Amino acid sequence: MNANRLFLMSCLALTVTSMTFAIRAGILGQLGADFGLNDAQLGMVAAMAFFGFPVAMIFGGLIYNSVGPKNLMIVAFVGHLLGLLLTIWANGFWTLMISTFCIGFANGAVEAACNPMIADMYHKNKTTMLNRFHVWFPGGIVIGALISKFLGDAGISWQIQIATMIPITIAYGLMVFKESFPETQHTESNTLENIKAMMAPLFLVMLVLMTVTATTELATGQWIEKILAGSGASGLLVLALTAGLMAIGRYFAGPVVHRFNPIGVLLGSSVLATIGIYLFSQFTGPMVYIAAIVFALGVTYFWPTMLGFVSEYLPRTGAFGLSIVGGAGMFGVSLWNPVIGSKMDQARDSAIASGATGAEADILAGQEALSFLNIFPVFLIVAFLILFLLKIKRPEELGGATNQQADL
C-alpha cells in the first residue's frame, strides 16, 4: 500500500467530481435552450446530482467496513463513465435526469471511499489532510469552469464539454485497479458501534448544519452563471475565481485550523459567506469579482472542516459517520435546488409583469435568489456561535473517553 499514490488517485477522482459540477453549471443555459426546459426543470436536473450523491454516501458508508474503499472506488469509476456517456447521448428531460443521477451517485461513492480512507491513513493529521484532499474540489471547478467558459464562447457543443472529463476518469480508474488499498487501522470499524455513536446530540446537530453549509457553498455555485446573468460579470469566471481561492485556502488549511480550531474556522467562514452573498446582490460589473473573493474566503473551509470536525471530535462514528454527514450535505442541496430555480422563475415573471425586460429582469431574478440564499449563512452564524461558546473538546482532551461527546 502506497499512501501517496492512493492520495493522488483520490484527488483525481475528486477532480472529476467537481468538474461535473462546474461544467454542468456552465451548460445549464444550453441544456435549457436545446431541450426547452425552464429554470425549475433545470433545477430538477441539477438536483439529481445532489440526490445521487447522498444515496451513494449512505449506501457506501453502510458497507464501507465490509467491502473496503477499493470496491467503492470501482463503483465510482463505473458510475462516472456511464453517467458521462449517457449525458452525451441524452435526448430530453428524463435522460438528463438519469445520467445526472449516475454522475451524482459516482461523486458520492468517491467521497464515501476516500474521506474515511484518508482520515485513517493520516490519522494524526485528519482535518489538514482532508482539507488538502478537498483542494481538488475547487481545483476541479476551476478546470471545469474555464473549459466550459472557453469552449462555450468558441461555440463548442456541450457534449464536447462533457467529454473532456472522460480522460481523467479513465486515469483514476486505472489507478483503482492497480493500487493496493489499506485495511482500516485507526478508526472504529464496527458498523453497529458507528450507528450507536451517531445518536449523540452533537452528531445530529452537525448533520443538520452540514445541510446548511453545503447549500450555502454548492447551491450558490451551481446557479451562479444564471444568477449573474445581466450583471455584466461572467458567472463562470466568478466560479473559477472563487474556486481558485478556495483551492489555495484549503491547501494551507493546517495553520488556520490549528490557530482557530474547527468551530472557530466555521464561525468565521459563516460571517464571510453572509457578507459575500450580500455583496453579490448589490454589485454589478467588475465589482462582482470583489464579492466573489469575499464569498470564496467564506466557503473555503466549510465542507472539509465539517468532515474533519466529525472525524476528530466524534471518532466512534467512523467511516459511516463521515458518509452520513457528507450525504446529508448533498441531500440538503438536492432539496433546495428546485426551490431556487422556481424562485428565479417567479421573480423573473414578476419583473417582466412590472415592465422589466431582458437583462433587467435577469438581474432582479438573480437578486431575489441571492436574498433567499443569504438566509443560510445567517443561520450558520448563530449556530456556530453557540457551539463556539460551548467550548467543545476532542476526546483526548476529555481523557480519551470517545463517547463523552454524547453528553452534549
Of all residues in the chain, what percent carry a pLDDT higher than 70?
92
- Contact assessment for residue 361 and residue 348, using Cβ atoms and an 8 Å cutoff: yes
- What does the pLDDT average to over 232-249? 80
CB 57 within 8 A of CB 108: yes
Task: Kindly give the interhelix angle for 302-313 and 318-353, rounded to the nearest 10 degrees.
Answer: 150
Reference 392, options 271, 302, 307, 310; nearest CA is 310
Domain of 32?
Answer: 3-407
SS3 of 44, please?
helix
DSSP-assigned letters across all residues of 363-376: HHHHHHHHHHHTHH
- Report pLDDT digits (tens) over 82-103: 999 999 998 888 989 999 999 9
C-alpha to C-alpha distance for 238 and 118, rounded to whole angstroms: 30
Interval 151-175 mean pLDDT? 92
d(CA 243, CA 293): 10
Cell readout for 252 is 494551507
When divided into structural domains, the chain yields a total of: 1
Q: How far, in Å, are 250, 281, 332, 387 from residue 290 at the CA level?
A: 20, 12, 28, 30
With beta carbons less than 8 A apart as the criterion, state whether 138 and 247 touch. Answer: yes
Lowest mean pLDDT among 21-25, 59-63, 166-170, 225-229: 225-229
Distance CA 185, CA 181 (A): 12
Distance, first Cα to last Cα, the chain: 38
Residue 349 phi, psi dihedral angles, 5° rounding: -60, -40
Measure the CA–CA gap between 105 and 340, rounded to whole angstroms: 22
Nine-digit cell at 256?
A: 488556520
Q: Is the pLDDT of residue 114 over 60?
A: yes
Number of helices (H), then strands (E), belonging to the chain: the values are: 17, 0
The reported pLDDT for the residue numbered 103 is 93
pLDDT in tens, 9-41: 999 999 999 899 888 877 877 888 888 888 778
Whether residue 404 is predicted with pLDDT greater than 50 in this model: the reply is no
Q: Which of 64, 104, 62, 59 is nearest to 83 (CA)?
A: 104
Which grid coordinates are listed for 188?
A: 472504529
- Examine the pLDDT at 405 and tell me if it is beyond 70: no
The predicted model gives 132-148 an average pLDDT of 86
Nearest by Cα to 341 from 226, 200, 181: 226
Q: Is 228 helix (H, G, I), strand (E, B) or coil?
A: coil
Most confident segment among 79-83, 139-143, 364-368: 79-83
Q: How far apart are CA 309 and CA 315, in angstroms?
A: 9
Determine how many CB atoms are found less than 10 A away from the CB of residue 401: 11
CB under 8 Å to 327, separation ≥6 — which residues? 53, 54, 55, 56, 57, 58, 61, 108
Q: Which of 14, 35, 275, 234 has its CA nearest to residue 135?
A: 14
Residues 6 or more apart whose CB falls under 8 angstroms from that of 316 comprise 188, 193, 194, 196, 197, 402, 403
pLDDT tier at 168, thresholds 50, 70, 90 = very high
Cell 455584466 belongs to: 232
Q: Which of 68, 71, 86, 72 is nearest to 20 (CA)?
A: 86
Residue 154 clears pLDDT 90, i.e. is over it: no
Confidence of residue 206 (pLDDT cuts 50, 70, 90): very high
HSE toward the beta carbon, residue 379, CA cutoff 13 A: 15
Q: Which residue has the cell 470517545?
A: 402
Q: What is the CATH number of the domain that holds 41?
A: 1.20.1250.20
